[in-house]
Amino acid sequence: MNDRDGLADERALARTYDGGAYEDGWAATLDYQAVMRYASEHPNKGSHAISTALEIPRGRIRPWVDGDSKPDAVRGVETARKHGWLEATYGDPEFAPLNTLVANVFSGGSIATETYMPSFALDRAGEDSHVVDALEAVGLDYQLAHRDSDDRGTEARPTEDGTVLGRVLAVLGAPVGPKAEIDDLTLPWYLEDAPHETKEMFVLAYLANRALHQREKRTVQIQEQRPKSYRDELAALIQDVAGERVTSGERMVTISADAARSLGIRPQFSD
């Protein structure tokens, strides 16, 4: 356990794992920690004695005590802590790329329902995309792959420890599974109390994937076939960051020319 708590909760992360014989991954984690603590304090005790003392079935703890086995949840928590993801909070260099990647799950990526493996669409910058910078900043290697349909471009997928990253992003509020099927989709909970810089980074990462520029106007639009409550929430966030008018309409969020200038958005037109 670490004495510093970040925004990604250790218990919530553990509960994204199947607990096996336990109710959830956190219950398995607590028993594992208790067993390892008792074993360190009583080095001459074997699995049978520890099982009796802690009243935990011996079959569960023997692989922990007599081998190097660990519950999947424990390995996941240890991996996340190794990367500094669990201690990261507002203002920390470790949190900035996590915030960026959460924004990209909402705006151009996904987290697989069963495996929690994330994938991120690359914006116009391609391999120079901010997504690639964020993956490198969290300390993960990645591979580039074409999406299933040619018109959907290329995406970046983390390799080793990618599923742990996906679980951390989910704990931070990133949606898991097809976003169009989530009726109560909302923006990440941590944005409510976040400083301006965190909100701004989220908004700019979001817009890098979703901003639609119009030739005859200086307004910018985001097309969102999602619940109206989500469009309203997104518009309010962007307006809060820009300090200028942003409106939510039918299927669209419209960023006024003043708001676009405030956000530093430059017109980008495709041929």
94 confidence band (pLDDT: 50, 70, 90): very high
> So what's the pLDDT on residue 1?
42
Q: Which two tokens stand for residue 225?
A: 């076939």
CA 227 to centroid of chain Cα atoms: 21
Mean pLDDT of the chain: 91
pLDDT at 2 over 50: no
Q: Which two tokens stand for residue 161?
A: 């420890």
> So what's the pLDDT on residue 215?
67
Q: What is the pLDDT of residues 185-207, one digit of tens each?
A: 999 999 999 999 999 999 999 99
266 confidence band (pLDDT: 50, 70, 90): confident
For the chain, what is the total number of helices (H) and then of strands (E)?
A: 11, 8
The C-alpha atoms of residue 111 and residue 118 are separated, in whole angstroms, by: 4
What mean pLDDT comes out for the span 247-251? 92
Spatial CA neighbour of 156 closest among 143, 167, 147: 143
112 confidence band (pLDDT: 50, 70, 90): very high
Phi, psi (rounded to 5 degrees) for 212: -110, 120
Amino acid at 202: F
* For the chain, domain boundaries: 18-70, 95-179, 189-262
The C-alpha atoms of residue 89 and residue 95 are separated, in whole angstroms, by: 6
| Dihedral angle of Cα 176, 181, 184, 186, to the nearest 10 degrees | 50
Q: Which CATH superfamily is domain 95-179 in?
A: Homing endonucleases (3.10.28.10)
Helix (H) or strand (E) holding 211: strand 211-213
Q: What is the pLDDT of residues 212-247, one digit of tens each?
A: 887 667 899 999 989 999 999 999 999 999 999 999
Lowest mean pLDDT among 34-48, 101-115, 187-201, 208-222: 208-222
What mean pLDDT comes out for the span 90-113? 96
Q: What is the pLDDT of residues 113-156, one digit of tens each?
A: 999 999 998 876 666 688 999 999 999 999 988 765 545 578 99
> So what's the pLDDT on residue 166?
98
Angle among Cα 243, 185, 164 to the nearest 5 degrees reads 100
